[in-house]
Amino acid sequence: MLPLELGNFFPNLVKIYIEKGDMTEIHQAHLRNLTKLKYLSLPKNEIKKIEKNLFKFNTELEILNLEENLIKEIYPTVFDDLKKLSIITLWKNQCTNFNGSNKNEIIKEIQENCKPKFTFDINEHKSIILEDVEENLEIIKNEISEKTLKIEILRNEIKKTFKNSLISSFCLFLLFIFIIF
């Protein structure tokens, strides 16, 4: 995985090449401060998804090589900000076998073969990709049940605390009355 701070230490970095690095994902945060990056090559890794705004801060990118990964999803708009991009290599991926320089052709192929799946956000930190509706509805149901159970446990703890607080207050009240009389 690329370190998040890479751009802080090497702000003028123009080329990254990591082959067989066992990378499974890459996020915008990894590339954010690499604004001068022109060449990004990550062949023979295990990257599965190219997220929507991955290259938002990499407008100087000219060559992108993601061949021989496991990419199943690519957002078609991911290349919109890359006006200087001249070579895209996505050869031997799960959803595309594209290798060339015609950006319009690759976008067309991506739209046909690499459509991102619908994502249902349960909260900020979890999401479920919906491929098999029945199976994933069960997952969603279990997630909701789990959250409901956590809420119920929390509610019972609050009740217990409140009850103990009432008992303590009542005991203090009795003690106060006993002391006065």
Show the domains of the chain with their CATH numbers.
6-116 (3.80.10.10), 120-180 (no CATH)
Q: What's the chain's length in residues?
A: 181
Q: What is the mean pLDDT of residues 86-103?
A: 76
Measured in degrees and rounded to the nearest 5, phi and psi for residue 99 equal -150, 110
Say how many Å lie between the first and final Cα of the chain, rounded. Answer: 74
Both structure tokens of 1: 């995985």
What's the pLDDT tens digit per position in 65-85? 999 999 988 877 888 889 999
Query: Average pLDDT in the 167-181 region?
Result: 73
Note whether 54 and 30 are within 8 A (CB): no
DSSP assigned state of 117: P
Q: Residues 154-162: what's their mean pLDDT?
A: 75
What are the counts of helices (DSSP H) followed by strands (DSSP E) for the chain?
4, 9
What letter does residue 118 receive in the DSSP assignment? P
26, 2 in Cβ contact below 8 A?
yes
For 16-64, the pLDDT digits (tens) are: 999 998 999 999 999 999 999 999 999 999 999 898 889 999 999 999 9
d(CA 74, CA 7): 24
Three-state DSSP class for residue 7: helix
On the question of pLDDT at 105 being above 80, the answer is no
